[in-house]
C-alpha cells in the first residue's frame, strides 16, 4: 500500500468511497451523493489552504487502485479556531479491516503538525466503534459526547468528539 497526495485523477475513486459511506454508514451524516467534479473542487479548496488530501493506493494487476482517503479542514470558520482542524478518514468497503485507515491517519497527523496546527479533532458517531478505536489507538482522547445531535436512517445518533494535541505550546 502506498500513501500519497491525491490528484484530480483520484476524484472518481474518492467520490465512490464517499458515496458508499453516505449510502451505507453513519460515518457521514449526509444523504446526497457527490460526483467526481465535486471532489475535485473539494480537493482544490483543501489544497488552496495548504491542507493535504491523502489517498491509500493498493497495488492490483491493473495498477494502483485508490482504497481510502484522508484529509483535514478547518474545524470552525472563525479566526479563534485557526489552530484546530478536523480530520476525515474513509476506506473502500473491500479494504476495511486491513489497516488502511490507520496508515492514512498516521500519515495525516504529521501533516497537521507541519501546517502549524495545535489540535486535530475527530467527530464520530457513537456507533462507529472501529473509528473510535482507531483514533484512540493513535492517541486521540474523548472530550465530549453529545446525545442525539445527528440523524440518519430514521434514527437519532450520538456524536463523540475526540482530539489529539499536536504540540506542547502553552500559548498560540
What pLDDT digit, counting tens, does each position of 74-121 carry? 999 999 999 999 999 999 999 999 999 999 999 999 999 999 999 999
Exposed, middle or buried: residue 69 (CB in 10 Å: 0-12, 13-18, 19+)?
Answer: buried
| Residue 31 maps to a domain | yes
**Res 61: pLDDT:** 59
Q: State yes or no: pLDDT of 59 exceeds 80.
A: no
pTM of the entire predicted model: 0.95
Question: What's the grid cell of residue 105?
Answer: 491517519
Question: What's the grid cell of residue 81?
Answer: 479556531
Q: State yes or no: pLDDT of 154 exceeds 70.
A: yes
Residue 61 to residue 46: CA distance in whole angstroms: 31
| Residue 171 maps to a domain | no
**Residue 61 sits in a domain of what CATH number?**
3.40.630.30
| Residue 172 maps to a domain | no
| Residue 63 maps to a domain | yes
Residue 69 to residue 136: CA distance in whole angstroms: 19
| Residue 134 maps to a domain | yes
Regarding beta strands 84-91 and 119-125, do their DSSP bridges make them parallel or antiparallel, or are they unpaired?
parallel
| Residue 170 maps to a domain | no
How many domains are contained in the chain?
A: 1
Residue 76 to residue 55: CA distance in whole angstroms: 24
Contacts 24+ apart (CB under 8 A), 79-85: 83/116, 83/117, 83/118, 83/119, 83/172, 84/117, 84/118, 84/119, 84/120, 84/121, 85/51, 85/112, 85/115, 85/117, 85/119, 85/120, 85/121
Domain that holds residue 18: 2-165
Q: What is the mean pLDDT of residues 4-32?
A: 97
| Residue 19 maps to a domain | yes
Q: What percent of the chain has pLDDT over 90?
A: 96
Amino acid at each position: 500500500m502506498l500513501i500519497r497526495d491525491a490528484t484530480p485523477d483520484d476524484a472518481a475513486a474518492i467520490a465512490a468511497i464517499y458515496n458508499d459511506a453516505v449510502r451505507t454508514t453513519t460515518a457521514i451524516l449526509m444523504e446526497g451523493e457527490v460526483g467526481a467534479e465535486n471532489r475535485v473542487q473539494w480537493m482544490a479548496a483543501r489544497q488552496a489552504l495548504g491542507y493535504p488530501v491523502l489517498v491509500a493506493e493498493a497495488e492490483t494487476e491493473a495498477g494502483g487502485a485508490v482504497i481510502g482517503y484522508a484529509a483535514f479542514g478547518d474545524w470552525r470558520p472563525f479566526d479563534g479556531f485557526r489552530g484546530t482542524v478536523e480530520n476525515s478518514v474513509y476506506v473502500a468497503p473491500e479494504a476495511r479491516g486491513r489497516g488502511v485507515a490507520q496508515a492514512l491517519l498516521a500519515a495525516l497527523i504529521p501533516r497537521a503538525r507541519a501546517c502549524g496546527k495545535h489540535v486535530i479533532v475527530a467527530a464520530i458517531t457513537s456507533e462507529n466503534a472501529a473509528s473510535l478505536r482507531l483514533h484512540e489507538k493513535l492517541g486521540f482522547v474523548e472530550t465530549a459526547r453529545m446525545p442525539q445531535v445527528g440523524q440518519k436512517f430514521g434514527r437519532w445518533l450520538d456524536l463523540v468528539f475526540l482530539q489529539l494535541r499536536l504540540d506542547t505550546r502553552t500559548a498560540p
